[in-house]
Chain A
Amino acid sequence: MTAIYHPTVARLTFRALLGRKRALIMAVLPTLLLAIAIAVRVPTGADDRAAVSVLGGFALAAVVPLVCVIAGTGSIAPEIDDGSVVYLLSKPVSRQTIITTKFIVAVAVTALFTVVPVYVAGLILNGNSQYIAFAYTAATAAAVVAYSAIFLLLGVVSRNAVVIGLIYALIWEALFGRLMPGVGNLSVQQWSLTLAEQIAASGANVTSTVSLTAGVVLLVLATVGSIWYAGRRLASFTFAGEH
């Protein structure tokens, strides 16, 4: 049976992801989130509507997908771009194991830079009143898993993974998601919001455009499908030669 985790692959991926430059970039957005939370809380006091607005409109809509783009694609795309992935692939290690290990590392790193700050920001904003902090933390955790798998797949299949990831996160989800009602059906943000909607008190006004069942099924399908397909693509990885 194929192992799902290889400690050496994980170590190399962790070190690549937490290199100074990438870690700094990933730290900027959660730091900004905490700064906004403090800036909102200090003058107005605890406010549930402000908490939903900041956690839903900024944390889940921007911070989480952007950090996931950096970590998800960054866990494999740079190695493929510069060719150093050859050292991983020329070993008797299953390509599916390489993918699942990199997925686990990407989830761990993005969780560190998103799940924890979102919960802390929620506590700052309204002290978890109406379970809003819990709700968005759970939604963030679910989104991190799906985003990491999708962006990891993008890193395997495309040389423009970061650009495509940014277009998906900023234009498809953030822009079209607000303007076109059907987009929610294909939005990790909306799928994960179904969890927040269930956890938050009904008065908190946390809503998603998809049902809980649809959200959970789509999250699982997107995650499993992306990991499976990324493994398949990596198993057939080729160097194009001189042409």
Chain B
Amino acid sequence: MAVVRIENVSRWFGNVVAVNDVSIDITPGITGLLGPNGAGKSTLIHMMSGFLPPSDGAVTLDGEVIWRNADAYRRIGLVPETESTYEFLDGREFVRANAELQGLPDPGAATERALETVEMTAAADRPVGTYSKGMRQRVKMASALVHDPAVLLLDEPFNGMDPRQRLHLMELLRRMGEEGRTVLFSSHILEEVEQLASHIEVIVAGRHAASGDFRRIRRLMTNRPHRYLIRSSDDRALAAALIADPCTQGLELDPTEQALKVEAVDFHRFAERLPALARERGIRLLTVSPSDESLESVFSYLVSA
């Protein structure tokens, strides 16, 4: 049972606060670290993997501080975001070098096991420099798994992967979680986290915005007020109909944009009622577009939730 504990951790770079008083326990199973780009996810992973000291607070693995503790790497497998590996090595040489650096008694056997786990045995004799993004990610996984670590940290592992490669890596990570490893991966894509992690930690602007079961967070996200921009054949009549329905809480007729701005509080009801109300009143809907669907605004809502 390996637990990575982030305790009241802050990290600043000059005047910029990258991580602000975050406390999280990463326990066995799969945890998704979700947040928009620049939220502080990589900074947290760098601290968890011993590549950045916290400015304040402590990051520990089973009670031991990770920063400047080379022995911690016997229990940590790291899949960094960086694309670069030792391009002149072939896949097998690369994984074997990692096995040797771990000081394993039989690095050859460990290498073959790790290559089999990620299904890269067939391509293991090709130079890493010739690998596709997905193959590269798998061989990086093999290098992180070669010493059978209790903790696996992955920084944006799905970036740039095609759907097939993504599914394959998800299956692999699921297996790692089921085996009792502590698996943490970061992502800025909600759907990736939804498909893989039952437990989620959300980071927004360096702050710990939400934590827990995916469904709870998803509910928070879907229940937040949604803003829409609507153009119709009769905006004023549509506004009167919508404000009378409990699915909305605010309306604004915008003369400059010649549109109706609606704040919906019940997303599902709004999606059902809007076309029905328009049909009942003989109003033609010309434009219905969400105006705050960016991930940042979704996350921002979570911060204030």
Is the pair B89, A15 in contact by a Cβ cutoff of 8 Å? yes
Interface residue? A214 (CB, 8 A): no
Chain A residues, Cβ within 8 Å of B103: 92-93
Chain A-chain B contacts (Cβ-Cβ < 8 Å), number: 94
Chain B residues, Cβ within 8 Å of A241: 11, 13, 18, 40, 42-43, 46, 52
Chain A residues, Cβ within 8 Å of B143: 87
Query: Which bucket holds chain B's interface residue count?
Result: 35 or more
Chain A residues, Cβ within 8 Å of B16: 243
Chain B residues, Cβ within 8 Å of A12: 86, 89, 97
In A136-186, the 8 Å CB interface with B consists of: none
In A11-54, the 8 Å CB interface with B consists of: 11-12, 15-16, 19
Q: Which of B40, B51, B74, B100 contacts A237 (CB 8 A)?
A: B51
Count residues on chain A whose CB falls below 8 Å from chain B CBs.
31
Shortest Cβ gap from B146 to chain A (Å): 11
Interface of A is mostly: loop
Interface residue? A1 (CB, 8 A): no
Is the pair B89, A238 in contact by a Cβ cutoff of 8 Å? no
Interface residue? B78 (CB, 8 A): yes
Is the pair B53, A87 in contact by a Cβ cutoff of 8 Å? no
Is the pair B86, A84 in contact by a Cβ cutoff of 8 Å? yes
What 0/1 pattern do residues 49 to 86 of B give for CB contact below 8 A with A? 11111000000000000001011011010101010111
Is the pair B88, A92 in contact by a Cβ cutoff of 8 Å? no
Determine the distance from Cα of A237 to Cα of B49 in the docked complex, in whole angstroms.
12
Name 5 interchain pairs, CB-CB below 8 A, sorted by A: A8-B97, A83-B82, A87-B98, A238-B52, A243-B43
6 closest cross-chain pairs (CB), A and B: A83-B82, A241-B43, A82-B84, A91-B101, A8-B100, A84-B84
